[in-house]
Every structure is written in C-alpha cells, then in structure tokens.
Amino acid sequence: MEDYNKIIESLGVKFAKARHINILQPIRIKNFYDVENTLLILYDGNVKLEGIDEEIEAGDMLFIPGGKSSNITYGTGEPKNITYEEFMTRREHYFDAMTIPHEIGKVRNSFGLIAFEAKVFDSVNFFTSLDIPPFFIKNDSKLAGLIKDILVEDFTDEAGRGRVIMNKTEEVVIEIIRFILRNKMFVEQLATNSTYFKDPRLIDIFAYIKENLEGDLSNKQLANVANVSEDYVGQYFKMLTGINPQDYIEYQRMEAAVTLLRTSKKSIRAIGAEVGYKDTAYFCRRFKMMFGIPAGKMRRRESLLIG
C-alpha cells in the first residue's frame, strides 16, 4: 500500500470541466475520445458502453480514462448512429447543457460529468498509463456526492469556488483509485507503475519530453538524458512503460496541441510547430487519425459534453 500512496502523492490533479447534460435524442457515438479523464453519472435514462452488458441504473457512474476510444450510447429508445466528428459538428442537436444547480439530478434523460487530468510528476497520465478500459462504478454515494458538489460549485460564483473544485477533484481521483484497489482491478498494471515511477532516469525522460516538445526528441537525445546507450533506450523505456518512446512522444505532442487549440487563438500551423511538427499537413493528418476529427473542429468545441 505504501507504493500506491507514493503514486497518489506524486499525482498532479487538474480540473477541466463539469457539465449537466439533457439528452435530446438517443444516439450512439462511435469512437468517442478525449485526452482528459471523464467521470459520468447517470441521473435518468440510459447510458450504455459497447462491450459491457451491465444494466445501468440511475446513480451509476462510468469512468473513461483519457486517451481511450469508446462507443457510447446515450438515451432511451432506438439510437441514431453517428460518428464522433458528426457529434462534434452538430452536438446541439443531441445534448443541451444545463446550469441551474437545483435541477441537478432532477431532469428526465440527463447525466452529469466532470473531466480532469491526473498526471504523475506532471508528465504521465496516470490512468492512461494503466492501459485500462472504461468501466462502471456502482453504489458509490461518496463519488456521486463529489460530482454533484463540483457541478454546484461550477454553476455558482461563490468565493473560493476554484479552490473547492480543485480539492473535490483531488478527492474524486483518490476515490477512483481506491475503487480500483478495493475491487482488485488492474493490479498487475498498478504494481508495474509503482515500480517504474520510482526510476529517476525515467522521470528525467518524462520531464525532458514535457519541456522540449518542439525540439529534438530522438532516441539519441533521450539516451543522453537518461545516460544509457541509444540502442538500449527504446527497449528500456518500453520495458518500464509498455509503450515505445516515439509513440509516447506523439501522444504528449497531440495532448499539448489539444490544450493549445482549446485555450489559445494561435493558428493551426503555429500550434503544430510549437508541439514539434514542422509539416502542418502531416500534423493535421496525424491529429485526425488520433482524435477522429480535424484540428479545426477540436478548436470550435466550446460547451456541452467535451467542450
């Protein structure tokens, strides 16, 4: 348990958004994707995750780790099948965002959600590193209460709002980890993480990648950072993380690009260059391949489920 406590202590948690959504018509979204972790609670109606046959009831929650693609059905009745890109283009036809605190949990065909980051040493997405699929959480009144508290805080403008949301989001992350441990889920992955997150050479590589996304991140350069041979660094990184370094670097670059698209007015060309892509066309191709939508449409996401 001590190792898990050390991992939790190393986590940097950042709140991203909170939404209370009214489902306007039943839909099935293919390849739903976001870089942040999402915790969704069903208040009324139906939410179904492809590949899991569990009956979901009001009060049940769905956790989707950042970076995991999922096919999700929202609403009761025969759903309309849509692509993720179509959903992003016409989302106002499917979902309506509500912001009145006393309506939370009392609207037909509705759910609440919060999205957040949880990074080890401010570099590695913790839940993504476990390589775990989305899963349901049932009968957890504490988590349900935390989601509602965050929604209420986000919909009001009381003093200390941001601090309260930050503290409660950290509680959410701890409760999800406790749920995983109590139910003995993904124990092997957790044990592996508790080992490799203590390796100082790997931590140096993570930090270097984060600080130099626009620069030279070849295996030769990473080998210099970790003080290992160029021939060994790829094997070393994959042995400890389960992913080769260049795939990890691309994910970090794309995650940074999403943040810039959402928070800045920089051109797509400038954003591509800032995260290490000299060829804008190649950046755009890789972006759409990873997220399923063009970079320009990611930029236009504002409200509702993942805006």
| Distance from C-alpha of 258 to C-alpha of 133, rounded to nearest angstrom | 22
In the predicted model, residues of the chain with pLDDT beneath 70 are 1-3, 192-194, 300-307
| Distance from C-alpha of 186 to C-alpha of 190, rounded to nearest angstrom | 6
How far apart, in Å, are the Cα atoms of 120 and each of 1, 209, 235?
17, 14, 21
Q: Tell me, what amino acid is at 151?
A: L
| Distance from C-alpha of 109 to C-alpha of 98, rounded to nearest angstrom | 12
Residue 111 is predicted with a pLDDT of 97
3-state secondary structure of 235: helix
3-state secondary structure of 103: helix
Q: Give backbone dihedrals phi and psi of 39, rounded to 5 degrees, phi first.
A: -115, 115
Residue 79 is predicted with a pLDDT of 94
Secondary structure E strands in 75-109: 80-83, 95-98
How far apart, in Å, are the Cα atoms of 134 and each of 32, 70, 154, 241, 265?
11, 8, 25, 20, 32
3-state secondary structure of 66: coil
How far apart, in Å, are the Cα atoms of 188 and each of 15, 185, 195?
28, 9, 11
Bridge partners, 18 (sequence order): 114
Q: Yes or no: say if 111 and 40 are a contact pair by the CB < 8 Å rule.
A: yes
Please list, residue by residue across 162-195, b when 16 or more beta carbons sit within 10 angstroms of its beta carbon and e when fewer do. eebbbbbbbbbbebbbebbeeeeebeeebebbee
How do the domains of the chain map onto residue ranges? 1-190, 199-298
Token code pair at residue 143: 């988590």
**Residue located via tokens 């849509």:** 82
Q: Tell me, what amino acid is at 248?
A: Y
3-state secondary structure of 279: coil
| Distance from C-alpha of 174 to C-alpha of 90, rounded to nearest angstrom | 35
Q: Give backbone dihedrals phi and psi of 253, rounded to 5 degrees, phi first.
A: -65, -45
| Distance from C-alpha of 2 to C-alpha of 130, rounded to nearest angstrom | 18
| Distance from C-alpha of 258 to C-alpha of 210, rounded to nearest angstrom | 15
| Distance from C-alpha of 13 to C-alpha of 118, rounded to nearest angstrom | 5
**CATH node for 1-190:** 2.60.120.280
Q: What is the DSSP string of 51-107?
A: T--PPP-TT-EEEE-TT--EEEEESSSSPEEEEHHHHHHSGGGTEEEE--GGGTT-S
Q: Which CATH number fits domain 199-298: 1.10.150.120, 1.10.3720.10, 1.10.10.60, 3.40.50.300?
A: 1.10.10.60
3-state secondary structure of 39: strand
| Distance from C-alpha of 66 to C-alpha of 24, rounded to nearest angstrom | 25
Q: For residue range 196-239, list pLDDT tens digits in order.
A: 777 888 888 988 998 999 999 999 999 999 999 999 999 988 88
